[in-house]
Amino acid sequence: MNNSQSNPPKKKHYFFYLIIILIILYMLFIDSSSFLQRFKMKLKNKNMKADVEAISKENERLRKENEDLKTNPKVWEKKARELGMQKEDEEIYIFKEKDKKTD
């Protein structure tokens, strides 16, 4: 029988495999372009796109509201009344509800 076949791997081989495993772990988790970092960046990008879409919708709604305020007197009168404004010859009455606990 050949003696070289039954010998266990030398310590140099273990060291080599350990180095390879460490390099792979570094590339997977620690490096700035690692798979973990890429996953985090893709998730952040997805969230930011959703935020941009929501802000764009809000901007469009505000643009339409602004155009309505410029062109439709009923709309701006309604907004003015919501802000507590009144016409020159109007009186405003404010009714307060009685506190039920004091009865």
- Average of per-residue pLDDT across 24-30: 80
Domain ranges for the chain? 9-102
Q: In the predicted model, what is the mean pLDDT of the chain?
A: 83
Per-position DSSP letters for 5-58, written without gaps between them: HHSPPPHHHHHHHHHHHHHHHIIIIISTT-HHHHHHHHHHHHHHHHHHHHHHHH
Name the region of 17 (left: φ>0; alpha: ψ -120 to 50; beta: rest). Answer: alpha
The pLDDT score that the predictor gives to residue 1 is 47
Q: Is the pLDDT of residue 97 over 70?
A: yes
pLDDT band at 5 (very low <50, low <70, confident <90, very high): low
Give per-residue pLDDT as tens, 58-81. Answer: 999 999 999 998 999 898 888 888
